[in-house]
Amino acid sequence: MNLIHHLNWRYATKLFDPNKKISEENLELLKEAVRLSVSSYGLQLYKILIIEDQSIRQKLREHSYDQPQITDSSQLFVFCNYNSNFCSGVEEYIDLVIETNHADSENLKNYGKSIKEDIRKMSSSERNSWSEKQCYVAMNNLLMACAELRIDSCPMEGFDSTAYNEILGLRNQGLNAAIIVPVGYRSVQDKSQFRKKVRKENRQLFELI
């Protein structure tokens, strides 16, 4: 199974080679992999910023514990969850389903009302937590696609989301920086690539009931 081979190859890259850049073709493949991710109800209530501008990345690095991946990678993916305008997001999705599948609009709009009611019942903290989790699901597609293309990546939670929101102007868009992923190519100086992968054994991780 090629997937297992790819997963054994990948690791959380600590040092990127700043001189190696991802091709436009491969970047489009990464974007498509993220676009095809599953999400709750299929809503995709998130937005992904792909940051190449070095001046912006330098500012973000200052709020990421000065981790070099932020500036040395080829691109920085910032997964942002929506924390407002959930109803309009649902309506946009339902309209897209109707347009794409030429489906029964009345039934789908009723389904949309049901989704909005489910979301309305959540507390504010529950909605934000649910919305953030969708980013993590989409991020996993990025990691898998990177591994298949032999592109290095490093999912990171070590950053100040409030500062990111300010620098990237996210609050005015009803967005919040949930998780970030630098992507590119490992540096020969990154000692992490030579470490053996450490994972629990199946007997510790799985239980058949």
pLDDT at 39 over 90: yes
* Cα separation values, 41 from 8, 33, 103, 116, 134, Å: 31, 18, 16, 11, 10
CB atoms within 10 A of CB 147: 20
Tell me the mean pLDDT in the region 53-76.
98
Give the pLDDT confidence of 164-176 residue by residue, as tens digits. 999 999 999 999 9
pLDDT at 38 over 90: yes
Q: pLDDT value at position 73?
A: 98
pLDDT at 7 over 90: yes
| Cβ pair 184, 151 in contact under 8 A | yes
3-state DSSP call for residue 121? coil
Secondary element (H or E) of residue 169: none
pLDDT at 56 over 90: yes
Q: Measured between alpha carbons, how far is 17 from 72 in angstroms, rounded to an integer?
A: 6
Cα 50 from chain centroid? Answer: 10
Q: pLDDT value at position 103?
A: 85
- E strands of 96-166, at which residues? 152-153
Could you give the domains of the chain?
2-39+46-83+129-205 (3.40.109.10)
176 forms bridges with which residues in the sheet?
A: 81
